[in-house]
Chain A
């Protein structure tokens, strides 16, 4: 493992070391002429886009880590890398079970496709900005929540429906609408369905990708309240990606600030919002309406 650690936390469940993702062939100059100092993440020589580079962090047990930055800063790429949906070009992504801190961690990037999918299903839950990315709109709400359970080998329809109803109650959705079409649900309700689906397999890490973007303010507040309650009740580790500093302030205890694919500042969320050090972070904080 690399020594490039951002926070020394012995009780981490997920740890990234120098994660890098490029789109393009890459050249010898890519790393020297891209990044926040050059105000671009595209190599002017080979046109490779360095979506993210040298991303390192630790996510502690029950902790919420925020990732903030403007559009194109690499937030969603980091989320995709952690969700194992795209391969990393460089770096390592370590995982260890909650409470098993003496055991050798597992490098997720070395897993084969089958094990990755199994891991993603059992240990990760993701909530996308757009519900249609996380839900199959041709299935009922219950069918969507049931998908992860069926993937985990549940084969009893009665038990599946009982579990799905429990999850709907947990996320403040009426269980009577279990067999309804997702098209009949509002945006905020669909985010709750996504959260129900993500929580169905009792994951170790919940990934939230711009969960409140596109929702009106009152619905945003209710979704954020729900996430905070789940965080408190389930003690689940969360990685929250948002360009909205208000969301990060509400949910995250620590925050990484990304610009042009690289981390420019990191620390406690309060500290970053109250006393930003990097000019880019200062700009972000001052731009808040």
Chain B
């Protein structure tokens, strides 16, 4: 395997993006930031991969318009996934492993505020037995939350504690669209939105975009003094039907964690948990103990831009390696209803256990 590291990361997150859903004008400064961080130009990027969805944009081929932001004459080596950019990162990592390229830039973007997000996401469900009922994502997460409440796996106070910690941490994140801790009692006094979930248990609808730069070996060391070496990267998916999954656990997150050799030694984990109870499911599935610092960025409850929030978790975790505040971190991304698909990216200061 080639040693590949995260060496660049830029993001924008906001409540309402005043611009077109193909977001080229938002991506231009994000890509410029990546060039500045690495000292590269677009000619240094061997492979490009983006994550977005036309259903979110409300127009066709929005990802083609978005690549205007790259400048693609002469043509570039480019691909796209209709998933969070964390999966675009996975594709780029595989591309680097093949030896065809040494560097890659991945990005994701989405203007969720253009439509009714919880309704748009119904189109990711089984079109025969689910979509005709238009089961919105918030309702599906609420069904999952109640299963755990009824089973005694968590209580409402535990959910409020997740929210309180997230929104307190979010006060230090300039991109948070929801921030400000209060107290468990105050949070529990607020009204229900999708009983048993309150609005603060659900990630805010967020517009945004993000980019991550990957590089192999010496290219990584040239681009950044302390690269975040990817020592484990895996993703897994659960089935389509909610009824045949145990929603109080996450089999796919467990399998992804097992595939990267477990999470022992991880100091900071940025978890993509768009609903408060899902953080508890993920901590358990990923085997993260009480000594692991969870989502110091504030996580998805502070801002959750579709198609980039997962990649942002990887970028936020990588920053802890870059700044020397951690030796081993984890970035996690989810997609699909009720944690159906999960991706785990473990990054370390040490290159596969070897001294630098």
A and B interact = no
A-to-B contact residues, CB < 8 Å: none
B-to-A contact residues, CB < 8 Å: none
